[in-house]
Amino acid sequence: MKARGGEPPALTERRGQRSVADSAKVLVVDDNSGIRTALTMLLEVHGISAVAMATPGEALDAVARLDIGVVIQDMNYSEDTTGGAEGVRLFREIHETDPDLPILLMTAWTNLETAVSLVKEGAEDYFAKPWNDDKLVHSVTKLLTLRKLRLENRRLLAQSDRARRKLAENFDLCGIVYKSSAMQEVLALATSVAQSDAAILITGPNGSGKEKIAQIIQANSRRRGEPFVTVNAGGLPDDLLEAELFGAEPGAYTGAKTRREGRFEAAHGGTLFLDELGNLSPKGQMKLLRVLQTGEFERLGSNRTQKVDVRILSATNADLRAAIKSGAFREDLYFRLAVIEIHVPPLRSRVEDILPLAEWCLPRFSSPDRPARELSQASREALQLYDFPGNVRELQNKVQRASLVAQGSMIEPADLDLEGNLTMTAQGQVRRPAEEASLDGEPYAPELSEIEEALARSSGVISRAAAELGMSRQALYRRMARLGISMERRMTARQ
């Protein structure tokens, strides 16, 4: 069966395919006209647009003028008498101009060692002449997709950087250090509701930065010049809670010799931050609910009612909805406190924040006789692989310890004392956690292109991409951190 003037059906189908990278072209660079023709025809038959150049100068001009998605370049040129030096120079000039542009090398066996060294410098791969058509087309198709994802990733990073700069310009972020889109979302919500007087409940695990978020809300509220009073609501026994929150008159309890001002009174006109709210006793919940409903209270030992103007921020690491179902927390109090709920994710879910936070900590643990240490590459990798059950607080502790015990100017993984399932290989590399193993027990480490393609198909939703790759969310976060893949696309994908 023939089609389109005698062409085989498969060829007709391939000609009808849309180019993998839309308008992007493959640049073929070779001084042999026969090879240029053969490669461009091969690619175009498979629906891939190609343009051919004979010299390095023409190739550099094409990269500057055209939308090039992949470069296939020869290593030898007829006028080059230096054994491939011109091919090396061309690769390095293109790579320096655009590090994200994939480059495939075409080489004869005499240039094999040079090609291998250039792969280490950033070339995607090399093909020996004569090449395998199917393998070459498959590689080019994959790299065109990768190029498109890299450009999108670059755009999203630039967009995220602009969003971070805009947030920092318009609001007081109280020196918070972050890079992840997850924290960008938290800060965007916190600053957007700061001007209101609505009660805000901040949730998240211990050490994740809930109090810092409360400080940012206060700093950007209309009450920023007024008191910001913090109380550990769950750390007070019932017999002291009332005096702590509402104050006490002399003689109200044993040892009360002078009038005591309570936290509500001290916060008048400003903000009261109730930390560890989930540990508040039933009696404490009832007393707190009353003052939230009426804005009124009496000092312990007094019958005179006082009225206060206080904005309430609260925080907890407990699941209050589960506590409501079990009867451990009052539902009416929850709705009073959680007009707006802001969740601060654990550090393991925002891997991009780990190294910026660690770098921020290092100078703060230095002294005149002990200069700030630097993190070795292995330490950086280990930090990104570690779960950090204690979150930012634990990270600060680990960095401080390492700064004190490190013997040289560099901090090594052993100095960080990272517990759990991180181990070092004989070559000094950090071994991936066991959870990144496949079902057959062999380590599963998807490549950069596989992950970026999965992220693209899942619209940047980490859980969906992880499921597609057969990994846990945490394992995918770690693998992305190792490969330098940004997670900024998640925020944009949801919009």
Q: What is the CATH number of the domain that holds 44?
A: 3.40.50.2300
**The pLDDT of residue 495:** 40
Same domain, 98 and 144: yes
| pLDDT at residue 384 tops 70 | yes
- The fraction of the chain above a pLDDT of 70, given in percent, is 82
Q: How confident is the model at residue 398 (pLDDT cuts 50, 70, 90)?
A: very high
Tell me, yes or no, whether 167 lies in a domain.
no
Check which CATH number belongs to the domain holding 361 and give it. Answer: 1.10.8.60
274 beta partners: 231, 314
Reported as type and span, the H/E element at residue 87 is helix 85-97
Check which CATH number belongs to the domain holding 448 and give it. Answer: 1.10.10
Segment 290-314, tens digit of pLDDT: 888 888 888 877 788 889 899 999 9
Number of H helices, E strands in the chain: 21, 16
Tell me, yes or no, whether 416 lies in a domain.
yes
Same domain, 222 and 296: yes
Same domain, 313 and 354: no
Segment 117-156, tens digit of pLDDT: 888 888 888 888 888 899 999 989 988 988 888 887 778 7
Segment 197-224, tens digit of pLDDT: 999 999 999 999 999 999 999 999 999 9
Tell me, yes or no, whether 158 lies in a domain.
no
* Domain edge (last residue) among 130, 150, 170: 150
Tell me, yes or no, whether 171 lies in a domain.
no
Residue 460: Cβ within 10 Å count: 20
Segment 83-93, tens digit of pLDDT: 568 888 889 99
Same domain, 198 and 339: yes
Q: What is the pTM of this model?
A: 0.65
Residue 9, preceding bond cis, omega within 30 degrees? Answer: no
**The pLDDT of residue 481:** 64
Same domain, 236 and 300: yes
| pLDDT at residue 400 tops 60 | yes
* Domain edge (last residue) among 318, 345, 372: 345
Residue 350: Cβ within 10 Å count: 23
Tell me, yes or no, whether 456 lies in a domain.
yes
Tell me, yes or no, whether 157 lies in a domain.
no
Tell me, yes or no, whether 368 lies in a domain.
yes
Same domain, 220 and 288: yes
* Domain edge (last residue) among 133, 150, 167: 150
Tell me, yes or no, whether 95 lies in a domain.
yes
What is the average per-residue pLDDT within 337-351? 93
Same domain, 423 and 388: yes
- Cβ(324)–Cβ(337) under 8 Å? no
Least confident window among 65-79, 404-418, 431-445: 431-445
Report the C-alpha gap between 476 and 224 in whole angstroms: 40
- What type of residue sits at position 381? E
**The pLDDT of residue 482:** 63
Same domain, 286 and 353: no
Same domain, 193 and 138: no
Same domain, 49 and 122: yes
Domain that holds residue 212: 178-345
CA pseudo-torsion sign 314, 317, 322, 326:
negative
Same domain, 220 and 332: yes
Same domain, 419 and 462: no
When divided into structural domains, the chain yields a total of 4
Q: Which residues does 414 contact at the CB level (< 8 Å), separation at least 6?
A: 424
Check which CATH number belongs to the domain holding 252 and give it. Answer: 3.40.50.300
In the block, which residue shows the tokens 């991936």?
A: 432
Full DSSP string of 267-300: TTTSEEEEESGGG--HHHHHHHHHHHHHSEEE-B
